[in-house]
């Protein structure tokens, strides 16, 4: 197939390389300025376009007529694939390509649409996280028929870090699987997305401040928050002696102690593994690694006394 690459991220870059390796032709690359955390830049996409002879456009405004005119002037392009383009793509652009545009979404559609779906799924205690390749409907968010889908099983100890790595590794192959399917059958649909609002769950963006820990919450919900806010994101945090304390690694503990304590109380320190135990609204949490004043360390390297509290 003749394919257009639209968007950003290393995942999209590697998907393009895999498509080329599998005999497809990249005729167009449309990208925009990269986010600070990206490992592939607009310059990398431009270099790829030069190497393979693809037409290159760097813009955050693909919907403008000037770009549509350039795209329409190219040889016939069968389909586009898109990851994390900076703006919503219009139906006019989608219809420029014979088979439209495929979009990749890190959520089990239609249930998890929108932003931060992996973090929301961890917070909600889901048992798996979906990754979908679906046909794009111009002007809409995460709509359109699903072509391929995969799932990652998760549990209460799964960090968003692991989920991100899985998506990064799996997405290029999933795009290729979708293209291979459509080569054989242009009309193939794995699942028609429901248009019933009751079947959809929209995730809205999460901010750094959303990682603030309330020690009155249950140990399970605090652990999910820690895992959902984990690297590469800002991290879940609380206050310790007037400074921000980030918690990067924790786990549930189960003991039969009956106690009276204020939530956030440090109730034990363990010399064997340098962890601490903290009282929550329901249960205790074992804190393994933290970050304090910009330095990562074992929890007990910072807190050695049960006369300390996290707030």
Per-residue pLDDT tens digits for 149-177: 999 999 999 999 999 999 999 999 999 99
Query: Is the pLDDT score of 210 beyond 90?
Result: yes
Pairing of strands 275-279, 284-292: antiparallel
Instruction: Identify the pLDDT of residue 195.
Output: 86
The DSSP symbol for 84 reads S
Structure token pair of residue 59 = 């813009």
- 245 or 196: which leads in pLDDT: 245
Structure token pair of residue 225 = 């928050």
When pLDDT is cut at 50, 70 and 90, the band that residue 253 belongs to is very high
Instruction: Identify the pLDDT of residue 37.
Output: 81
Alpha helices, DSSP H only, in 23-116? 42-52, 65-72, 91-94
With H, G, I as helix, E, B as strand and everything else as coil, classify residue 127. Answer: coil
Number of helices followed by number of strands (H, E) in the chain: 8, 15
pLDDT (tens digit, 9 = 90+) per residue, 50-88?
999 999 999 999 999 999 999 999 988 999 999 999 999
pLDDT (tens digit, 9 = 90+) per residue, 92-128?
999 999 999 999 999 999 989 999 999 999 999 999 9
Instruction: Identify the pLDDT of residue 75.
Output: 80
pLDDT (tens digit, 9 = 90+) per residue, 134-149?
999 999 989 999 999 9
Contacts of 47 (CB under 8 A, 6+ apart): none
Residues 179/24, Cβ–Cβ less than 8 Å: yes
pLDDT (tens digit, 9 = 90+) per residue, 4-38?
999 999 999 999 999 999 999 999 999 999 988 89
With H, G, I as helix, E, B as strand and everything else as coil, classify residue 6. Answer: strand
Give pTM, 2 decimals.
0.92
Instruction: Identify the pLDDT of residue 26.
Output: 97
Instruction: Identify the pLDDT of residue 121.
Output: 97
Instruction: Identify the pLDDT of residue 141.
Output: 84
Separation CA 236–CA 250 (nearest Å): 11
When pLDDT is cut at 50, 70 and 90, the band that residue 197 belongs to is confident
Separation CA 212–CA 308 (nearest Å): 19
Separation CA 290–CA 78 (nearest Å): 50
Considering Cα of 50, then 53, then 55, then 60, what sign does the dihedral take?
Answer: negative
Backbone phi and psi for residue 114, each to the nearest 5 degrees, phi listed first: 90, -140
Separation CA 19–CA 7 (nearest Å): 15
Domains defined along the chain, listed by start = 2-106+125-196 (3.40.50.170), 208-302 (3.10.25.10)
pLDDT (tens digit, 9 = 90+) per residue, 211-243?
999 999 999 999 999 999 999 999 999 999 999
């Amino acid at each position: 197939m003749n394919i257009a690459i639209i968007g950003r991220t290393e995942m999209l870059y590697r998907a393009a390389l895999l498509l080329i390796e599998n005999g497809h032709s990249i005729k167009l690359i449309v990208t925009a300025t990269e986010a600070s955390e990206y490992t592939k830049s607009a310059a990398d996409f431009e270099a790829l376009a030069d190497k393979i002879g693809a037409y290159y456009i760097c813009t955050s405004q693909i919907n403008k007529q000037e770009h549509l005119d350039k795209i329409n002037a190219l040889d016939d392009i069968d389909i586009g694939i898109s990851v994390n383009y900076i703006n919503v793509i219009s139906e006019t652009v989608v219809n420029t390509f014979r088979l439209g545009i495929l979009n990749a979404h890190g959520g089990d559609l239609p249930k998890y649409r929108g932003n931060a779906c992996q973090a929301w799924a961890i917070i909600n205690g889901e048992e798996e996280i979906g990754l979908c390749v679906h046909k794009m409907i111009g002007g809409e968010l995460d709509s359109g028929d699903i072509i391929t889908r995969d799932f990652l099983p998760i549990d209460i100890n799964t960090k968003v870090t692991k989920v991100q790595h899985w998506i990064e590794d799996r997405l290029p192959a999933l795009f290729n699987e979708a293209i291979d399917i459509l080569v054989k059958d242009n009309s193939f649909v794995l699942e028609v997305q429901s248009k019933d609002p009751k079947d959809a769950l929209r995730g809205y963006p999460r901010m750094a401040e959303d990682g603030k820990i309330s020690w009155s919450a249950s140990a399970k919900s605090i652990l999910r928050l820690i895992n959902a806010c984990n690297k590469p994101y800002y991290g879940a945090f609380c206050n310790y002696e007037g400074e921000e304390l980030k918690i990067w690694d924790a786990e549930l503990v189960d003991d039969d102690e009956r106690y009276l304590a204020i939530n956030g109380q440090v109730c034990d320190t363990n010399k064997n593994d340098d962890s601490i135990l903290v009282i929550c609204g329901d249960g205790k949490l074992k804190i393994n690694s933290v970050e304090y004043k910009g330095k990562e360390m074992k929890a007990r390297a910072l807190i050695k006394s049960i006369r300390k509290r996290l707030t």
